[in-house]
Amino acid sequence: MPTLLAALVALFAASSVAANAISRRSDRLALSRAQLRHQASHDTLTGLANRAHFSEQLELKLGLGSANDLRCVMFVDLDRFKAVNDTHGHPIGDKLISLAAARMRSLLPNGLIGRIGGDEFIVLLDNEDARSAEEKAGLLVKGLKTPYDIDGAHISVGASIGVAFARGRCSPDEVTRQADIALYHAKAAGRNTYAMFGVHMDELLRSRRMLEIDLRHAIGSGGQLEVFYQPVFTADGGKLYSLEALARWKHPALGYVRPDQFIPLAEEIGLINEIGALVLEDACMMLAQSPEIHVAINASAFELSTPGYTDQVLSALCKWDVSPARLEIEMTETAAAGESGELEKTITRLREAGVRFAIDDFGTGYSSFSRVQKITVDRIKIDKSFIDEMHRADNRALVIAMIEMARAKGLKITAEGVETSEQLTALQSLGCDDLQGFLLSKPLPRSEVLALMPRCRGGSRQEADTA
Ligand code: C2E
Ligand code: CA
Ligand code: CA
């Protein structure tokens, strides 16, 4: 009996040792399975859900929803992240992404957050009404734009957010499509903000698609795109100094469409180079026809960064046999601040050939004066918004500061958007070189500018105005 007891005790002890070992081993296996599952479903840099996992969860939750469930999906896109990568390098860019992800996690502890692209995130919030979602979107915008301290560098980016809602069971594709449209609106509203999806956005999207089709057709078939010219006058003496070439689209049903509507669209759908080429050709023809005048064209950062741009400009000048010094290229301040290698090369090569450069809408870009000072240009064009507000002392002081800075750098100064005689007198006394605005002349079609030309040569501003 005692032997049997001893044997049983030994057996029990042995089996419980074995059971412990087995359970430890299976715990370890379960842990590594969980780790593997986590790795397969999460983004390694940020630890957030990856695209596949997020989609799976979204589908699951929206598919299970009962009629009263209200969920919210947000697309979050960092603004100017590409510039951080270009300027500071990828390791810093990666750190910024993981810090941004950590901020999002702490601001939305109960949300499912996924990283779906380099600087793109998606959020799913359960039981979220419009008010609280809006509040959270606002907090995210604010939280993400607070500067990041990374390896001694102080880096700022912003965030644009599109918000959409899902009530009850619904299709994940439809909710993400709506959040995407809302994001598009947040960006169009100037970035660093959020937009909530509304049905009017669908309507806008439809008309944008129509416009896109029409614009492709207009460029392909010719005849609908025209170039208008706005005269620019010298501040002292009011002589016609130059013409700014401005694209116009004569839509068969809508009439003239303004460039602020179709230029951004053309940039997005990759047609800006065609429009730029058309304006360049027209401008060179104008230069050839009116030998005493200068002409300015506008170029977006995208055009200036296109490798063939320099040759395109130089060959157009050569074809029409006009001196490069009579052509000025206006680029927006944001473009001037881009500092992409190709853009710098374009500016350098064209300036070496004699073409002038101006910074358009000066003062409105996010780049500081010091940054702008590094760029080699010949002129600044003070943005209309400053001229509009010049009756206010602080704005007047800003205009004076811009003029003094430009003078110190030896740059020419144009004030644009001059609409009143008070503005005209003030700008003359402050020492602007040239003035442009509806008070002096609106942009005119080619035939009207040409009709104006002989009388204007050496004539007065008033003569031009009455034409
Ligand atoms: P911008 O270069 O700042 O051009 C000046 C704009 O201000 C023009 O609008 C002009 O009509 C308007 N303007 C001039 N004086 C006054 C004024 O006294 N009062 C008011 N209210 N407005 C005035 P527009 O022609 O609609 O052009 C808008 C923008 O589209 C231009 O702004 C330019 O950035 C862009 N753009 C125009 N043509 C081209 C082009 O061929 N290529 C590119 N890339 N951009 C273009
Ligand atoms: Ca311009
Ligand atoms: Ca401008």
Residue 343, in any domain of the structure: yes
Average of pLDDT values for 103-112? 96
What is the spatial distance between Cα 116 and Cα 55, in angstroms, rounded to a whole number?
10
Burial environment of residue 232 by CB neighbours within 10 A (0 to 12, 13 to 18, 19 or more): buried
CA distances from 94 to 46, 88, 154, 207 (A): 9, 10, 15, 38
263 lines ligand 1 (CB under 6 A): yes
| pLDDT tens-digit map of 241-286 | 999 999 999 999 999 998 988 998 898 889 999 999 999 999 999 9
pLDDT of 5 over the 80 cut: no
300 lines ligand 1 (CB under 6 A): yes
Ligand 1 atom closest to residue 418's alpha carbon, by position in its atom list: 18
Per-residue pLDDT band for 204 (boundaries 50, 70, 90) equals confident
Span from the CA of 17 to the centroid of ligand 1 (angstroms): 83
Span from the CA of 132 to the centroid of ligand 1 (angstroms): 40
pLDDT value at residue 455: 46
Range of the domain at 62: 51-198
Residue 107, in any domain of the structure: yes
Could you give the maximum distance between any two Cα atoms of the chain, in Å?
131
355 lines ligand 1 (CB under 6 A): no
Asked if residue 227 and residue 183 are part of one domain, the reply reads: no
Average of pLDDT values for 236-240? 92
Residue with the nearest Cα to atom 7 of ligand 1?
417
Asked if residue 213 and residue 343 are part of one domain, the reply reads: yes
Domain limit, last residue, from 198, 218, 251: 198
Higher pLDDT pick, 85 / 75: 75
What is the spatial distance between Cα 350 and Cα 325, in angstroms, rounded to a whole number?
10
- Percentage of residues in the chain having pLDDT higher than 70: 88
301 lines ligand 1 (CB under 6 A): no
Domain limit, last residue, from 198, 222, 246: 198
| pLDDT tens-digit map of 415-443 | 999 999 999 999 999 999 999 999 999 99
pLDDT of 13 over the 70 cut: no
- Identify the top-confidence range among 136-145, 204-213, 403-412, 447-456: 136-145
Residue 43, in any domain of the structure: no
Residue with the nearest Cα to atom 3 of ligand 1?
361
Higher pLDDT pick, 372 / 331: 331
Residue with the nearest Cα to atom 25 of ligand 1?
246
Asked if residue 320 and residue 177 are part of one domain, the reply reads: no
pLDDT value at residue 65: 73
Average of pLDDT values for 333-348? 73
Domain of residue 182, CATH code: 3.30.70.270
280 lines ligand 1 (CB under 6 A): no
Span from the CA of 296 to the centroid of ligand 2 (angstroms): 8
Q: 4-18, 136-150, 205-219, 447-461: which range is least confident on average?
A: 4-18
Residue 220, in any domain of the structure: yes
pLDDT value at residue 333: 67
pLDDT value at residue 46: 95
Higher pLDDT pick, 104 / 156: 104
Asked if residue 271 and residue 231 are part of one domain, the reply reads: yes
> Which bound ligand lies closest to the C-alpha atom of 387?
1
pLDDT of 133 over the 90 cut: yes
CA distances from 8 to 4, 5, 218 (A): 6, 5, 94
Average of pLDDT values for 38-62? 92
pLDDT of 373 over the 80 cut: no
334 lines ligand 1 (CB under 6 A): no
Per-residue pLDDT band for 399 (boundaries 50, 70, 90) equals very high
pLDDT value at residue 467: 34
Asked if residue 224 and residue 192 are part of one domain, the reply reads: no
CA distances from 90 to 82, 84, 99, 117, 118 (A): 10, 8, 14, 15, 11
Query: Token pair of 359, please?
Result: 């910074």
Query: Token pair of 231, please?
Result: 């005269």
How many whole angstroms from its chain centre is CA 258?
Answer: 19
Per-residue pLDDT band for 7 (boundaries 50, 70, 90) equals low
256 lines ligand 1 (CB under 6 A): no
Span from the CA of 416 to the centroid of ligand 3 (angstroms): 7
333 lines ligand 1 (CB under 6 A): no
This prediction's pTM: 0.70
Span from the CA of 446 to the centroid of ligand 2 (angstroms): 17
Number of structural domains (the chain) is 2
Per-residue pLDDT band for 458 (boundaries 50, 70, 90) equals very low
Asked if residue 282 and residue 425 are part of one domain, the reply reads: yes
Cα dihedral 424/467/414/342 (nearest 10):
160
438 lines ligand 1 (CB under 6 A): yes
Residue 44, in any domain of the structure: no
Residue 172, in any domain of the structure: yes
Per-residue pLDDT band for 173 (boundaries 50, 70, 90) equals very high
- Given ligand 1 and candidates 225, 246, 424, which is best to mutate, with the most ligand atoms within 8 Å of its CB? 246
Q: 51-65, 133-147, 291-305, 367-381: which range is least confident on average?
A: 367-381
Asked if residue 224 and residue 168 are part of one domain, the reply reads: no
- Percentage of residues in the chain having pLDDT higher than 90: 62
Q: If you search the block for the tokens 């000066």, which residue do you land on?
A: 362
Residue 291, in any domain of the structure: yes
What is the spatial distance between Cα 402 and Cα 368, in angstroms, rounded to a whole number?
12
- Given ligand 1 and candidates 262, 263, 332, which is best to mutate, with the most ligand atoms within 8 Å of its CB? 263
pLDDT of 202 over the 50 cut: yes
pLDDT of 302 over the 90 cut: no
Asked if residue 341 and residue 238 are part of one domain, the reply reads: yes
Residue with the nearest Cα to atom 20 of ligand 1?
417
Asked if residue 215 and residue 189 are part of one domain, the reply reads: no
Per-residue pLDDT band for 372 (boundaries 50, 70, 90) equals low
Span from the CA of 466 to the centroid of ligand 3 (angstroms): 24
- CB distance 340 to 347 below 8 Å: no
Q: If you search the block for the tokens 């002890």, which residue do you land on?
A: 13
What is the spatial distance between Cα 74 and Cα 180, in angstroms, rounded to a whole number?
8
pLDDT value at residue 466: 37
Domain limit, last residue, from 198, 220, 235: 198
Domain of residue 257, CATH code: 3.20.20.450
Residue 336, in any domain of the structure: yes
Span from the CA of 292 to the centroid of ligand 1 (angstroms): 23
Span from the CA of 246 to the centroid of ligand 1 (angstroms): 6
Asked if residue 249 and residue 158 are part of one domain, the reply reads: no
pLDDT of 323 over the 90 cut: yes
Residue with the nearest Cα to atom 32 of ligand 1?
260
What average pLDDT does the chain have?
Answer: 88
246 lines ligand 1 (CB under 6 A): yes
Backbone angles phi, psi at 75, to 5 degrees: -95, 130
Average of pLDDT values for 305-328? 96
pLDDT of 19 over the 70 cut: no
> Which bound ligand lies closest to the C-alpha atom of 229?
1
Asked if residue 261 and residue 115 are part of one domain, the reply reads: no
- What is residue 194's three-state secondary structure? strand
Asked if residue 85 and residue 174 are part of one domain, the reply reads: yes
Helix pair angle (309-319, 272-289), 10° resolution: 30
Ligand 1 atom closest to residue 300's alpha carbon, by position in its atom list: 44
Span from the CA of 329 to the centroid of ligand 3 (angstroms): 12
> Which bound ligand lies closest to the C-alpha atom of 437?
1
Span from the CA of 456 to the centroid of ligand 2 (angstroms): 22
Residue with the nearest Cα to atom 13 of ligand 1?
417
Per-residue pLDDT band for 87 (boundaries 50, 70, 90) equals confident
Ligand 1 atom closest to residue 332's alpha carbon, by position in its atom list: 34
pLDDT of 20 over the 80 cut: no
